[in-house]
Amino acid sequence: MGQKISSRLKEVVDALSLVDGMRVLEIGCGPGVAAREIVNRYKNVFVLAIDRSEKAIEKAKRQSKNEMATGNLEFQKCAIENFQMDGTVLFDIAFAIRVGALDGRHPDLEMKSIARIRECLKKDGRLFIDGGKPLRQLQLK
């Protein structure tokens, strides 16, 4: 069984305003708590959760066996600045919480990361990061 979701992560998931049928990219998923919450809350939402940490991805996979078995949740070890689409179906929403490549800590990675995200989102897709109440949308244009 996975970790219990914190009130902060619950607020993040609530703020995404997801609806059935959406495809979501979580950037910097850590142990997969938010990704599991989304898949358990919305039965027809697909989440690809990525993290640059092998240890985080291994933990997320261990704690997410039931959710992964549904086919609605996948994990991938990857840094966002190196992310490549695996297939042609784009994402509706991407979100990142405490990800250095998107929060100003690593400006050199930010432009490359934004370009990668732009490539994998639908034309009207949206990117959310922390720093709002609880999220703020980054403009991708």
User: In this predicted structure, what is the pLDDT of residue 2?
Assistant: 60
pLDDT at 90 (0 to 100): 96
Of 1 and 13, the structure prediction assigns the larger pLDDT to 13
Which two three-digit tokens encode residue 104? Answer: 């100003």
Give the model confidence (pLDDT) of 33-74 as tens digits. 999 999 999 989 999 999 999 999 999 999 999 999 999 999
What confidence score (pLDDT) does residue 108 get?
86
DSSP 45: -
What homologous superfamily is domain 7-138 in, according to CATH?
Answer: Vaccinia Virus protein VP39 (3.40.50.150)
Residue 122: which H helix or E strand, with range? strand 121-130
Q: What is the mean pLDDT of residues 111-134?
A: 93
Q: DSSP label at 38?
A: H
- Residue with the larger pLDDT of the pair 31 and 87: 31
User: Shortest CA distance to 12 belongs to which of 20, 2, 23, 27?
Assistant: 27
pLDDT, residue 69, reads 97
Which residue, among 98, 99, 39, has the nearest Cα to 67 in the 3D structure? 39
What are the backbone dihedrals phi and psi of residue 94, each rounded to the nearest 5 degrees, phi first?
-125, 145
* The pLDDT value given to residue 120: 95
Cα–Cα dist 1/118, whole Å:
34
Angle at 3 between CA 121 and CA 32, to 5 degrees: 20
Task: Give the pLDDT confidence of 85-122 residue by residue, as tens digits.
Answer: 887 899 999 999 999 888 888 888 998 999 999 999 99
User: Partners of 49 in the beta sheet?
Assistant: 26, 75
Structure tokens at 29: 């998923």
Give bridge partners of residue 126 from the DSSP assignment.
Answer: 93
- 1 has pLDDT over 60: no
